[in-house]
Amino acid sequence: MKKVIGQTVRDLKREVNKKVLKVPGIEQKVLDATSNEPWGPHGSLLADIAMATRNYHEYQMIMAVIWKRINDTGKNWRHVYKGLTVLEYLVAHGSERVIDEIREHSHQISVAPVS
C-alpha cells in the first residue's frame, strides 16, 4: 500500500513539474533518469537523453541537471550514482560535447560525494 501511495505522489509531482512549474520535457527525463528510485534508468530514456544532447539548448539543460545531481549528498546518493551512469551512456551515445564537458568538470567528478 505504501508503495502505491508513494508512486502516486511521485506521479503527481511529475505532473506539477510539467504543468505548473513548466519543467521542460528533456529536463524531466534527466530528473527521472537520475531519481532516487531503486532501479536504474531505462534504455529508451537514456537514448532520448543522448539524442537530445545534439540540440544545443537541450544539451545545456541536460548537463545542468547532471552536474547538480552529481553534487548531491547523503540520502540522495542514488542521484550521484545515476548521474554518473547517465554520463557514461552519453560518452558512448551522446554528442561529442559531452566528452569535452567531462574533461572540463573532471575535478567535480573526482570529488563527487560518496556516502
Task: Measure the CA–CA gap between 8 and 26, rounded to whole angstroms.
Answer: 21
**75 located within any domain:** yes
Exposure string (b/e) for 54-88, b if CB count within 10 Å is 16 or more?
eeeebbebbbebbeebbebeeebebbbbbbbbbbe
Report the CATH number that the domain containing residue 94 is assigned in CATH.
1.25.40.90
Domain that holds residue 41: 24-110
Residue type for position 102 = I
**78 located within any domain:** yes
Q: What is the pLDDT along the chain (115 residues), one digit of tens a residue?
A: 455 555 676 666 666 666 665 667 899 999 999 999 988 899 999 999 999 999 999 999 999 999 999 999 889 999 999 999 999 999 999 999 999 999 999 887 776 565 5
Task: Measure the CA–CA gap between 76 and 35, rounded to whole angstroms.
Answer: 9
Task: Measure the CA–CA gap between 45 and 37, rounded to whole angstroms.
Answer: 14
